[in-house]
Amino acid sequence: MSASSSAAPFLPFTRPTIDDETIAGVCEVLRSGWITSGPQVKAFEAKLSEYFGGRPVRAFNSGTCTMEIALRIAGIGPGDEVITTPLSWVSTSNVILEVGARPVFVDIDPVTRNIDLDRIEAAITPATRAIMPVDLSGLPVDRDRLYAIAGKHKLRVIEDAAQSFGSSWKGRRIGSFGDFVSFSFHANKNVTTIEGGCLVLNDEREVKLAEQYRLQGVMRSGFDGMEVEVVGGKFNLTDVAARVGLGQLPQVDVFTIQRRELARAYFEAFEKAGAKKLGLRLPVPDFAQSNWHMFQVILPEVRLKVKRAEIMAQLHAAGIGTGVHYPAIHLFALYRRLGWKDGDFPHAEQAGRNILTLPLFPTMTRDDVARVVDALVAVIQKNGKA
């Protein structure tokens, strides 16, 4: 590693891009006196609906509650099962537990790192009510096969598309078709509202329920009419957050183009560096459909004399931030107590031990990419077994 690269500014694994116009717009909202849910949220929902081809959309304060609300709208609860992946942020399965149902994990495809569609039908039982797939890193699950399986077995689909805003399937935007589609606008997502999310729905009945579940089950009428029919939560998005989202939406296509170009640069740099000889496993090189929310590699576990944490520490010392997305869910203590154990899903477990998220955000340059690849290769070579 050169002295110049070691002296370069710290490079985080992600950084949001928020322009001056959006910052000024947030200031206007703060001065308006209406900072919680109001006109900005309604405007944001309208723009989201337009983006998804006119489908109804409601905004929320996270991309976690959106999945829980979708489950509740679908009537899923105690005694029901929901098929999902063990390689995701733990919220994906936590919301299933939250409504009283049981997650049924299906191992991942080691190439795509998404749920293995070939294994889903074997996991279906009379108690199965839904499938909840995840588009890891923004790479879409095969929607044709997914919905063919769901249709055959009369199952609802709740797409955990938290990472795939701006991704597409065969030319159609994720979210513009399908059943429930849940997105996250967390600070590390391609489009952010700082914290937040949205749920794409199917009809006005679902919209009404989503609105009830969003704010304590309350329905208002006239100046003073109020009724509560269901147990809701406190999941509303603020106008401040919505204004950030309104500034982000017009830039999503540009962000996606920039991310795809950086992903191309990663593949070129890794090929030049001989990644295959090092045993590094790269993601699927999909430059047409993925939004490249993250660029993740799988470390060559058997060739290293140290574990991932030490690799991350040495990269951090070199000025490069990395992340882990994600440990295998079923090996957390909560899920072990529910009966899962080591060896249940070997592909997800191997990925969970060795997956490493590298820096990728729109304001990066090709030189930044080269710096990351050079540093990672140097660290792997330094820590390889003799």
Dihedral angle at the C-alpha atoms of 186, 187, 191, 195, nearest 10 degrees?
40
- The question of whether 189 is a catalytic residue gets the answer yes
User: What is the DSSP-derived secondary structure letter of residue 189?
Assistant: S
Judging by DSSP bridges, how do beta strands 355-358 and 295-298 pair with one another? antiparallel
d(CA 127, CA 308): 38
Catalytic residue among 47, 189, 276, 341: 189
Strand partners, 11: 320
Cα 197 from Cα 191, distance rounded (Å):
10
Handedness of CA 329, 335, 336, 341 (dihedral sign): negative
Does residue 285 come out as left (phi exceeding 0), alpha (psi in the -120 to 50 range) or beta? Answer: beta
Cα(181)–Cα(167) distance, integer angstroms: 13
Distance, CA of 199 to CA of 201 (rounded, Å):
6
What is the number of residues in the chain?
386
* Tokens 């928020």, residue located: 18
**DSSP-assigned letters across all residues of 26-69:** HHHHHHHS--SSSHHHHHHHHHHHHHTTT--EEEES-TTHHHHH
Give the active site residues. Answer: 189
